[in-house]
């Protein structure tokens, strides 16, 4: 029986076991496209053990033990179609095979104009179909398509044509060391930026929004902090709210204004029950800066668990850079 990496609900590897309906695993889908904006879709044989007789992606399969998503995509494409081409990551998506088993997928796209050698045990028919026609067919006759392919199509639509990545920042103990003031607002002139804050705020090719909460007893204090720190001009938008629950609506407003999809948004803050929660509710990538009085706060539920927990803003830079690279490289059909 095939041994694969099994993962937890956050797609972190927790061991290696035979494929079972009781374990979460990882998989890949690959779309080959040509110069006519067509996608190669493949029909599964009628006797296939899973999704028999249904149309699906050009190629796909599970990750082997220790294999990366890209390695699996290259391997599956060569095994099923005899094709080797450069592949570009397009999006993530999850398909639930059962109540107890999810497959965490990544979709890759590559351009191919030559012949294919279809593996007859996996593919009965392979045909090029216009992407727009494919979208219409999937909506009107979903029963013709394998479930993971429909999920891949929906996930790709969410990121298709997306603009620049959006970074949503908190201020206190995220960009500046507020706790160093020991709660004495009379010392606000002593406020300093955290290490790497200038570097993070200087990252190009992304939109930056600051959403921060005012102190109820010190109206105007957040604006004063921005003036002292000299970073107000680093943001495309600044919103100062009076209560934490207001943050969610401003997060949504920023995403709508800048046409940012959740997969292209990073929320950076220090409070699990405030900005991290808001970001997770909206499906964004969340980064908790483990600094200040909230660094050891236990999450109340899964919405308060950050995608990444880091000890320094400097550690956020590669996460943001990766998002920007993916946005630039993302193919659009």
Buried b (16+ CB within 10 A) or exposed e, 22-32: ebbbbbbbbbb
What per-residue confidence (pLDDT) applies to 301? Answer: 94
The per-residue pLDDT for range 42-53, each reduced to its tens digit, is 999 999 989 999
Neighbours of 57 (CB within 10 A): 26
Residue that is last in its domain, among 159, 186, 206:
159
Q: Are 212 and 135 in a shared domain?
A: no
Q: Are 279 and 172 in a shared domain?
A: yes
Q: Provide the angle, in degrees to the nearest 10, between the axes of the packed helices 147-159 and 131-140.
A: 120
What per-residue confidence (pLDDT) applies to 263? Answer: 85
Q: Are 200 and 86 in a shared domain?
A: no
Question: Does residue 164 carry a pLDDT above 90?
Answer: no
Question: Does residue 329 carry a pLDDT above 80?
Answer: no
Percent of the chain past pLDDT 70, that is, above it, reads 98
Q: Are 150 and 178 in a shared domain?
A: no
Q: Are 174 and 224 in a shared domain?
A: yes
Q: Are 83 and 143 in a shared domain?
A: yes
Question: Does residue 275 carry a pLDDT above 90?
Answer: yes
* pLDDT band at 38; cut points 50, 70, 90: very high
Helix, strand or coil, per DSSP, at residue 171: coil
How many residues can be counted in the chain?
A: 333
Question: Does residue 126 carry a pLDDT above 90?
Answer: yes
Q: Are 202 and 302 in a shared domain?
A: yes
CATH number, domain of 95, equals 3.90.79.10
CA-to-CA distance for 249 and 8, rounded, in angstroms?
31
Q: Are 186 and 151 in a shared domain?
A: no
Residue that is last in its domain, among 159, 174, 207:
159
What per-residue confidence (pLDDT) applies to 162? Answer: 65
What per-residue confidence (pLDDT) applies to 261? Answer: 81
185 against 180, higher pLDDT: 180
What per-residue confidence (pLDDT) applies to 327? Answer: 81
Domain range for 323: 166-329
Residue that is last in its domain, among 142, 159, 176:
159
The answer to whether residues 266 and 200 touch, using CB atoms and an 8 Å cutoff, is no
Buried b (16+ CB within 10 A) or exposed e, 266-295: bbbbbbbbbbbbbbbebebbbbbbbbbebb
Q: Are 175 and 111 in a shared domain?
A: no
Average pLDDT of the chain? 92
Total domains present in the chain: 2
CA-to-CA distance for 214 and 119, rounded, in angstroms?
62
């Amino acid at each position: 029986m095939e041994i694969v990496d099994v993962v937890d609900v956050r797609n972190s590897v927790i061991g290696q076991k035979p494929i079972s309906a009781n374990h979460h695993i990882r998989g890949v889908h690959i779309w080959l496209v040509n110069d006519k904006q067509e996608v190669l879709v493949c029909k599964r044989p009628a006797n296939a053990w899973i999704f028999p007789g249904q149309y699906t992606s050009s190629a796909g399969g599970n990750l082997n033990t220790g294999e990366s998503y890209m390695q699996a995509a290259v391997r599956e494409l060569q095994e099923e179609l005899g094709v080797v081409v450069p592949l570009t990551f397009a999006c993530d998506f999850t398909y639930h095979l059962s109540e107890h088993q999810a497959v965490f997928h990544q979709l890759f796209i590559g351009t191919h104009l030559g012949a294919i050698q279809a593996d007859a045990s996996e593919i009965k028919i392979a045909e090029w179909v216009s992407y727009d026609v494919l979208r219409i067919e999937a909506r009107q006759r979903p029963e013709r398509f394998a479930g993971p392919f429909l999920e891949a199509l929906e996930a790709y639509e969410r990121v298709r044509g997306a603009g620049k990545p959006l970074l949503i920042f908190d201020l206190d103990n995220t960009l500046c060391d507020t706790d160093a003031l020991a709660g004495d607002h009379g010392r606000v002139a002593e406020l300093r930026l955290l290490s790497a804050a200038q570097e993070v705020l200087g990252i190009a090719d992304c939109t930056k929004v600051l959403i921060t909460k005012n102190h109820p007893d010190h109206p105007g204090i957040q604006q004063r902090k921005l003036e002292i720190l000299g970073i107000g001009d680093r943001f495309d938008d600044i919103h100062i709210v009076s209560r934490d629950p207001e943050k969610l609506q401003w997060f949504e407003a920023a995403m709508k204004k800048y046409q940012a999809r959740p997969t292209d948004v990073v929320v950076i803050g220090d409070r699990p029950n405030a900005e991290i929660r808001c970001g997770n509710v909206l499906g964004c990538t969340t980064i908790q800066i483990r600094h200040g009085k909230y660094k050891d706060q236990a999450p109340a539920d899964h919405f308060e668990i950050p995608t990444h927990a880091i000890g320094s803003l400097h550690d956020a830079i590669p996460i943001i850079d990766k998002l920007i690279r993916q946005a630039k490289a993302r193919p659009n059909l």
